[in-house]
Every structure is written in C-alpha cells, then in structure tokens.
Amino acid sequence: MSGALAGRSAVVTGASRGIGLATSRSLSGEGARVLMLARGAKELRERSADIGAAAVALPCDVSDRAGVAVAAQHIAAELGGAPDILVNNAGLFILGRIDALSQDDFAASLDVNLIAPFLLIRAFLPAMRERGDGHIVTVGSIADRQIFPENAAYAASKFGLRGMHEVMRAELRGTGIRTTLVSPGPTDTPLWNSMETGRTGLPPRTAMLSAEATADAILYAVTRPATVNVDELRLTRA
C-alpha cells in the first residue's frame, strides 16, 4: 500500500460513525492499518469492511476499564506492539442543567471522554517511549475552552481532557512521541440525531463542520515530518 502512512498503524476509538469513521477512512486512505474501536459490533464490522482489508474492527466499550485492558492486549498482539498513532476520539455528549443532571450521566461523561483516553494512553505509552516514536491525537471540542449552559458534564470532561493532553505534551517533548489536540466546533455527525440543535442555540446541522474537516486536520497533524509537533488545531465553520 502506498501513501504518506504506508507501513504505519493507527487505533481510532469511536470509529463506527461521525468523526472517528471519517478519520479511519482518511488514515487508511493514506496507507495506514487502522484498528477501529466502538461498542456496536455489527455497525463497526460493516464500516470497517467498507474501508477494506487495511481496517480491523475491534468491538470495545471504552468506558469498561477491564474491556479496555483486553482490547489493548489484542491491539498489541495484532500490531506486535503499540500503534504508531492513537486517536482518542470516542465521546459522549449529554446536556442538562447541573441540578437536573444525574450522577450516572456525569460519571459516564467522564468515563468515556476523559478516563478512557487516559487508560489507552497509559496502555501504549511505555512501548512508544521505548521505541522513541508515536503520535497521540486527542479529539477535544470547542467546549474544552468555552462554556455553555447545560454543558457541565461535557465541559468538565473536555476541559479535563485538554488539561491531561497539555501535561502529556510537556512530559513527552523531546521523546520522539508527538501529541496533537484537535478541537472542532459543532460538527454534523450522528451525535446530534437525538438532540434538537435549536435547544442549544447552535446552528442547524447543514451549517456545521463536516466530520471530514476534523479527519483532514488529524491527517495533517500525523503526516508532518517527525521534527514537527502540531500542538493544537481548533476548527470552526467558516
């Protein structure tokens, strides 16, 4: 396979729909072998089959700590070590005023958006350090810097995710492992299917970013020369 990522491997979480699927497509389009994670096995297998032999479906609930450990073992066995690129993308978006938000919804947001990336980073970082090579991409959000009413659970998880990512960048500078935070504004993905955007004061879906825009930004970051770290990309609809 030719392309800028020929011979490289990538793990993408939340890969069956939206930004994760677009990213899996674009990374594999440049020749990477892509391991795609999501919970819904049927949809994931269908989407990875659409991409072709370079994509592998690995059903996993990233909010299940034991399940993440098992998936990490599978990935290491499949690739003979850590992936070259890890894209922590899976995300949960639950709206609700703080006094109306359940403890379970708040905890689930932290589990998927913050703790799962931590677990996957921890699983692969030792081998990346040993190799002196790797790229960890964190999918943040406009909401990792900006607050909106009813967004306490999501903002807490994404502000925390950005904080963790920035600490990681400081710790990894000079090790050969690169880190990029990609933070999109509102994006037209199935995430909005069960939500009226009118409620949030956001634009209609037709006026949002496309999932491919964020996939492009990720592809840009991971295809720079090894001496260049793209620290952060923030995307909004022009």
Ligand X SMILES: NC(=O)c1ccc[n+]([C@@H]2O[C@H](COP(=O)([O-])OP(=O)(O)OC[C@H]3O[C@@H](n4cnc5c(N)ncnc54)[C@H](OP(=O)(O)O)[C@@H]3O)[C@@H](O)[C@H]2O)c1
| Enclosing H/E stretch for 19 | helix 18-29
Determine if 117 is a binding residue for ligand X (CB under 6 A): no
Closer by beta carbon to ligand X, 6 or else 49: 49
For the segment 95-114, give every residue that binds ligand X (CB under 6 A).
112
Determine if 190 is a binding residue for ligand X (CB under 6 A): yes
Determine if 138 is a binding residue for ligand X (CB under 6 A): no
Binder to ligand X among 34, 48, 61, 117 (CB under 6 A)? 61
Task: Report the alpha-carbon distance of residue 235 to residue 74 in Å, rounded.
Answer: 33
Binder to ligand X among 5, 57, 90, 115 (CB under 6 A)? 90
For the beta sheet containing 85-88, the strands, ordered from the edge strand earlier in sequence to the opposite edge, are 55-59, 33-38, 9-13, 85-88, 134-139, 177-184, 232-235
Binder to ligand X among 139, 152, 218, 219 (CB under 6 A)? 139
Determine if 179 is a binding residue for ligand X (CB under 6 A): no
For ligand X, which stretch binds (CB under 6 A), given 16-24, 75-83, 95-103, 223-231? 16-24
Place of tokens 């900006």: 146
Structure tokens at 222: 């991971």
- Give me the amino acid identity at 114: L
User: Is 220 one of the annotated active-site residues of the chain?
Assistant: no
How many Å is the Cα radius of gyration of the chain? 17
Determine if 204 is a binding residue for ligand X (CB under 6 A): no
Contact 230, 220 (CB under 8 A): yes
Closer by beta carbon to ligand X, 1 or else 95: 95
Closer by beta carbon to ligand X, 179 or else 187: 187
- Give me the amino acid identity at 53: A
At 57 the three-state DSSP class reads: strand
Residue 206, number of CB atoms within 10 A of its CB: 6
Closer by beta carbon to ligand X, 6 or else 195: 195
Question: Minimum distance between the CB of residue 189 and ligand X, rounded to whole angstroms?
Answer: 3
- 177-184 vs 187-188, strand pairing mode: unpaired
Question: Minimum distance between the CB of residue 50 and ligand X, rounded to whole angstroms?
Answer: 14
Where does this chain bind ligand X (CB under 6 A)? 13-20, 37-40, 43, 60-63, 89-93, 112, 139, 141, 184, 186-187, 189-191, 211
